[in-house]
Amino acid sequence: MKGHPFLPAPRRNPLQAGGIGAPKRPILRGVPRPNPGESAHQSRMTAPAASPTRIADALAVVFGKTHSLRYWDQTGTLERELALYRELARAYGNMFFVTGTGDAGQSLIDRAGMNARVLALEPSDTRSLAQTADAIASRNVKSVTVLTDDLLAGDAPIHLASRLRISGLRVALIARGGSIPSRFLAHTPGAQTPEAKDAAALEGRLLRAADLVIGTTESMTEDLSWRNAIDASRCEVVPAHVLAPPNNDDTQRSRNSILFCGPLIARKRVDVLIRAVSLLPEPLCRETTLDIIGDGDEVQRLRTLARELNVKAVFHGWIAHARVIEAMSRCTLYADASSLENQPRALLDAMSVGAPIVVADIRGLRDLVQTGITGIRVQPQPEAFAQTLDGLLQDEDWRQTLGAGAARFIGSQLTIEHVARLHLEAHARAHMFAGERPNPISALSAIRLLVCDFDGVFTDNRVYTDQEGVESVACSRGDGMGLEMLRKSGLPIFVLSKEVNPVVAARCRKLKLECLQGIDDKLPALEKLARERGLSPREIAYVGNDTNDLGPLSWVGLPVLVNDAHPEVLPRLGRQDALVLSERGGHGALREICDLLLAARTR
């Protein structure tokens, strides 16, 4: 990848002068303060379009729990989000959106006039996973970027990338997040709640499996890096993009109109804005309107508070994105008192149309709003907001200065052209890292012994118990066929199990496999087996599914995991050369590894 046009050197933070770990400096240090008379439109700059170099044959965007094409359409943001992928598609031969919406998603893409294919994927269905991978590979694709912009996407992007690698494709997996869901859930409902813990586990699995992690701010990437033990060099800062707003120089801003846009939830602290308006001096208090765009479980409490404080608050609910932009173009001020943020898109939109900004002084907003240049940061108390709102509402020159500065910042650093190029630089870097990843497929030819766990590998990890207390399990005949073919090819197969039930020995006798059961500590037993057969670790493959397999998996040359392995195994194993199968234990996983080993032996 040396000399690749999308690999800049040295790396830099697009919002600050330094990279990760660099001294904190104001975002716009050295940027001239705009003239008070300069309009927001005049302050915008458009980055020149670049001719991108091909990065890979295909880009596969995998949706998760919080995003989908249908959701973007329902919230009026479909065009804004697709604008980025239109730019990225120029560096790829094929474009795929992997989602659960199927044909409905394809109709949205067709309606938007975008040349992309929508593939429906059910991550827990191995057949669906195989069909999705085959559909991507069928277009003469040899290299793929698998990208998810949802940190709660779970195992879907991991398994898709693994399946494509098994098919022989060169794959880079990128995890991109606009926010950190587990941090928000730790705030509400709480750090020790199941929701926050589950979100943290999902994030961790995805981030540790990714070749590159993209965050929208430096504070976000630093947080993700230390919390998930990710090398900081594999993290990139790429801010969210903003579409070029319409020329609104002729739009007259309303008098004494304060706007907020976002979900009406506790951490947004809209109540602080309502109380701040109530504290404005007379007659400004009575003459000021607080327009609130959005909805959520706080709406009734906020309505009641506004009535009690005699604040003129207008609740609009969710409205089309074009109407949101129009409202932002007309408001006197845009305010946000959130207690926790990363890089809120509504705030970026408001800045792009030159709205004067007042926000709470919190970490997630310091990357965007520099007091006196792109807006005002204040302490998150009603009194502090009221004092700043009072001064701004009565000083038009100050408002024009801040609005022009905000638009100047967006126009110079967050245009779609500029942000898309940063994304493509990150994509190229991800493929560089992916090229350094050990290829588990290449290790197959060195294997001289296949060792397997039993429960969760031969079976689906369930046990059936009858009224007499007799236990039984279910195994796959397809797995049995694969094991028989592999054994007859001359490759020894050994079963190493903690289970003491005689069903293990019975199944192994039928398949003519050697076994050792009732083994609590498997690694010493495996090491002894290797010594007796004169084999080195690199000549052994081990198939496991749970944490008691970590010893053997860490020691052998080829660690293999069934598709439904315990979620803690891969992160704790910490090996990038682990082979994650597409099939589940007891449902074709052994047949899959047998087929791969047979193919390697015949090459």
pLDDT in tens, 203-215: 888 888 899 999 9
Would you say 397 and 26 are in contact if contact means Cβ atoms under 8 Å apart?
no
pLDDT in tens, 470-489: 888 899 999 999 999 999 99
pLDDT of residue 217: 85
Kindly report, as residue ranges, where domains of CATH 3.40.50.1000 are found in the chain: 440-602
Q: Which residues of 182-194 are buried (b: 16+ CB within 10 A; e: fewer)?
A: bbbbbeeeeeeee
Look at residues 37, 507, 79 and name the one whose alpha carbon lies nearest to residue 515: 507
Kindly report, as residue ranges, where domains of CATH 3.40.50.2000 are found in the chain: 56-241+417-435, 257-414
What's the pTM value of the predicted model, to 2 decimals? 0.77
pLDDT of residue 22: 29
The total of other beta-carbon atoms located within 10 Å of residue 476's CB is: 21
Distances (CA, A) of 156 to 61, 150, 152: 11, 11, 10
Which residues in the chain come in under a pLDDT of 70? Answer: 1-51, 101-104, 123-124, 126, 185-187, 246-250, 603
Would you say 83 and 416 are in contact if contact means Cβ atoms under 8 Å apart?
yes
Would you say 5 and 53 are in contact if contact means Cβ atoms under 8 Å apart?
yes
CATH architecture of 56-241+417-435: 3-Layer(aba) Sandwich (3.40)
pLDDT of residue 250: 62
Q: CA-CA distance, 351 to 368, in Å (whole number)? A: 10
Strands 464-465 and 471-472: antiparallel
Q: What is the DSSP string of 473-499?
A: ----HHHHHHHHHHHHTT--EEEEES-
The superfamily CATH assigns to domain 440-602 is HAD superfamily/HAD-like (3.40.50.1000)
Strands (E), 238-375: 257-261, 289-293, 312-317, 333-336, 357-360
pLDDT of residue 252: 86
Q: What is the DSSP-derived secondary structure letter of residue 174?
A: E
pLDDT of residue 529: 96
The total of other beta-carbon atoms located within 10 Å of residue 566's CB is: 18
Looking at domain 257-414, its CATH class is: alpha beta
pLDDT of residue 186: 67
Q: How far is CA 400 from the centre of its chain?
A: 37
The answer to whether the Cα torsion of 136, 128, 568, 65 is positive or negative is positive
pLDDT of residue 248: 58
Would you say 309 and 230 are in contact if contact means Cβ atoms under 8 Å apart?
no
Q: CA-CA distance, 120 to 62, in Å (whole number)? A: 10
